Structure 1
Amino acid sequence: MFRRSLWLKKNRNTMGYIASCLKQLGQYDDALDQYEEMRREFPRLPAKIEATVAAEMAELSGLMGTLAVTGDAPAGALLFVDDRLRGKLPVEKPLRVSVGSRAVRVEKEGFAPLSMTVEVKAGKESVAELVATSRKGRLVVSEKHNWVLHVELDGKEVGVTPWQGLVDVGEHKVRLHGFMGVEALAACEAPGAVAEEGAKVASTVEAAPVRLYEETRVVLGAEERDASLRVESTPVGATVSIDARVVGKAPWEGRLPLGEHVIEVSAGGYFSAKQTVRLERRKQRELSVSLERQPDLVAEAPAATNWKIPVGLAYGVGVVGLGVFVVTGGLALDKVNELHVRCPNKLCPSTEAGNQRAAAALGTAATVGLVVVGLGTATGTALVLLMGPESGERRAGLSVSAGVGLGGFEVRGRF
């Protein structure tokens, strides 16, 4: 009666009576809401009434806490607290509820409800973290022409279109297949039941991601597939692609929509082959493809490059020998010049014996360096002739040898 009166005309006294009644009924949150609305509608209350309202609101606040709903709570579901409807999820802000043990329940049409009990404390926020024991979502499958066909879910038949059911959360593979009467197919009519004979029709496989407590709709278009194709390849096991989509390995056989299709066969180390075929109703086409092997460029490339490594090493040794020859030869020449000054008529005193030995050692080192130069140069040149580019054309008539003698080296060749 009070609410009807308030609907006809807002009155502060009526609003106060409603809040008082709600408080006595234990609906502290609604009573506090009523007092707050009263203050908004009548911001300048008489001092005595304002004092009474403030005292009531303070008392009510001490009898309440707040409630937040998290976890597997589905959006759009109805939220009940102690069997009282408190709105739809998600709630904009935590709900004010009375202290004590509160039964929280969430319901969404077509799914099992979620429920739990929460202990609410005064002035504190309590959290109802709902956990779904059955993690399901709803999948709805239909055919775009409204044809009645078998529904294949993850490789198993589950019914006919239009079909719906609760399935586990995650991604699922959906396909339609069946028969259509030739007359119905030509007229694009929607049959009332599954046909057991006629032209074979099927859809592609569609991925359907199903989420918890949500509905996923999949609309598939079936096409006539009353024609088959078999693809064989040389080498066996080549990849078969139809209309730019990989379908498997050769030999491959399957049904396809009528009309033209582009078949591509490919394999590692071979040139791909592409061909267009036309499929006709109730006829099987067989396609045999022999792939041409590609030149073994990968095997030749390292051979063309690897010859440079030993040639570089050989010439590098020659460069090192040249360095030794230049340095030690220069030092040996300096020692010899000093001995010419200190030993007139090539007669050296015993005190110069050390310098004589040093000059001889440096001379020997310079000679060795020169020999190394010759060996490195000769070896590098021989490797270039034997292993370098275009060496195959010369190799049959080429003979190269290197030798070292006292005080020199030589390279001999025959073309």
Structure 2
Amino acid sequence: MRPIHSRRLAGWVLALGLIDVEAKAAPPAPQGKDSQAEVYGNEAEARAQFQAGVAHFDKQEYRDALEAFRRSLWHKKNRNTMGYIASCLKQVGQFDDALDQYEEMRREFPRMPAKTEATVAAEMAELSGLVGTLAVTGDAPAGALLFIDDRLRGKLPLEKPLRVSAGSRAIRVQKEGFAPLRTTVEVKAGQESVAELVAKSRKGLLVVSEKHNWVLRVELDGKDVGVTPWQGLVDAGEHKVRLHGFMGVEALAACEATATAAKDGARVASSVTAASVRPYEETRLVLGAEERDASLRVESTPAGATVTIDARVVGKAPWEGRLPLGEHVIEVSAGGFVSETRTVRLERRKQRELSVSLADRLAEERAARNRKIGVGLGYGVGVAGLGVFAVAGGMALDKVNELEARCPNKQCTSREERDQEAAASLGTAATIGLVVGGLGAAAGTAVLLLTRPESGERGGGPSVSAGVGLGGFEVKGRF
């Protein structure tokens, strides 16, 4: 930016010069609460740097003058030096920093001479019309450094809008490990402008390690990307991560970490874990691997049934994979078929094979219905026959007892002979009822036993028990 020359600047320099002459003639001010100078180092060096700064300033070498005045200020805090720094900043176009410098000067030296205070007030009024404020929004990563026109101005997020010189400003946001974000914004004097950052590549940093510090392969969304500890830039969003590899048996038993990934030994792996990655942020994922040196193969009829292991769907049958040692609950299911659940125990370095035949749900329901009908009919006939046996047999027994009482020495009249024939008929009916009841019960039991579901895997089905004791025949069942 072109340097600013004005009568006000000349007046300010003259004011500084007069104050500086007076400072040279006067003895050093005593240090204390009311002192307006704070000594940081060598006062002679402070004066030498101040004089070098003035020489550069007179030659309009404002940047060189600025560096000299700043070195002088480091050795001794002086309002004249601060005033010159503000003037240099104004001349190189850093109006925001010049205004900040004047504000700091007022805080450090609140009792300035009236002429100096008037000059400072006029300069600040002019600078206020040359600056605006800037807010940063959009893809603004926390902790990133904010550069404006290649000058570091702070770290995101900003506590409040930043004071910035008016004009076109180049904005750069940089965070270690990520590509920088850039934009340009036109800052208007006296107004708040907004720098809306838009990332072209929305990536985040994913860091993956194993909790035992084992060196294992890292599988990211089904692809091998390296070994633990691993880190890399990935697209923002959900990712599936799994660790797998080998461990020497001795190292595994001692839970020791190896320096490199093993190529043989006991198989170890972690569960698949979801990692949620946010743009321009670091996501750390620590997974625990465990021994999976046992394999399981699951086949199904019909083929293609869904295989669920320990309440997690793992794929379609036929399925084969390695699992942790111990017991696992395997469920095989398919639409239109009855699901099967099995429990298997896996042992080290052994492969288990599980073959499951699923029953057709409609066929099984039909068979169960027919089974109930057949069993019901059989036992119904049996109960009816036994009922006939009980009634007819009772009546026949009563007739026989009555005839014995009426026919002493078995000498009966023609009337009693007819009663004898009736008792014989009742006895025959009772015998037939007993035979029919026995056949019905036997038929029902046969249907129940011959058509029951295969025992074991699908839980309990219909059951029956039968017995003969004092007083009759007993059948108990569950359907």
Instruction: Deviation per CA, 1:151-188: give whole Å up to 9, x if none.
Output: 11111111111111111222221111111111111111
**Partner residue, 1:261:** 328
Of 197, 203, 206 in structure 2, the residue corresponding to residue 139 of structure 1 is 206
2:457 corresponds in structure 1 to: none
Out of 170, 180, 183, the position equivalent to 1:113 is: 180
- Listed as ranges, the gaps of 5+ residues in structure 1 are 301-415
Structure 1 residue 119, shift from structure 2 partner: 2.6
Question: What's the CA shift for 1:249?
Answer: 3.1
- Equivalenced residue count is 298
Cross-structure match for 2:228: 161
1:92-124 Cα deviation digits (max 9, x unpaired): 222212222322111111111122333323222
Residue in 2 that maps onto 1:382: none
Give the residue type in structure 2 aligned to 1:204. S
By percentage of residues, which structure has more strand? 1
- Work out whether 1:57 is the aligned partner of 2:124: yes
- 1:7-45 Cα distance to aligned partner (Å, 9 max, x none): 677665554444334323432212211222344455565
In structure 1, what is the Cα distance between the partners aligned to 2:134 and 2:105?
A: 24
Q: Once the two structures are superposed, what CA deviation does each residue of 1:174-209 show, in whole Å capped at 9, x if it has no partner?
A: 111111111111111111112111111111111122
Q: 2:168 aligns with which of 80, 84, 101?
A: 101
Find the counterpart in structure 2 of residue 73 from structure 1. 140
Partner amino acid, structure 2, of 1:228: S
Q: Which residue identity is paired with 2:190?
A: G
Identity of aligned residues (%): 85
For 1:251, the aligned partner's letter is P
- Are positions 1:176 and 2:262 aligned together? no
Tell me the CA shift for residue 4 of structure 1.
6.7
1:36 maps to: 103
Aligned partners of 2:167 and 2:306: how far apart in 1? 67
In the alignment, residue 190 of structure 1 is paired with which amino acid? A
**Which amino acid is the alignment partner of residue 87 of structure 1?**
G
Trace 1:11-410 onto structure 2 (pairs within 5 A).
Answer: 12-41=79-108, 47-267=114-334, 272-291=339-358, 293=361, 296=365
Over residues 208-250 of structure 1, what are the superposed CA-to-partner deviations in whole Å (9 max), with x where a residue is unaligned? 2222111111111112111111223445444332222222333
In the alignment, the residues of structure 1 paired with residue 128 and residue 289 of structure 2 have an alpha-carbon distance, to the nearest angstrom, of 62
* Alignment-derived partner of residue 26 in structure 2: none
CA distance in 2, matches of 1:97, 1:80: 12
| Aligned-pair CA distance for 1:60 | 0.4
CA distance in 2: counterparts of 1:123 and 1:208, whole angstroms: 45
Which stretch shifts more, 288-297 or 177-186? Answer: 288-297
Bigger Cα Rg:
2
CA distance in 2, matches of 1:136, 1:236: 41
- Taking the aligned partners of 1:149 and 1:111, their CA distance within structure 2 comes to 26
TM-score (norm 2): 0.56
Q: What is the distance in 1 between the residues matched to 2:289 and 2:206?
A: 18
Q: What is the TM-score when the length of structure 1 is the normalising length?
A: 0.65
Q: State the AA in 1 paired with 2:290.
A: E
d(CA) in 2 for partners of 1:266, 1:66? 65
Instruction: Structure 2: give runs of 5+ residues left out of the alignment.
Output: 1-45, 47-68, 370-479
CA distance in 2, matches of 1:196, 1:41: 69
CA distance in 1, matches of 2:307, 2:189: 69
Paired AA for residue 216 in structure 2: L
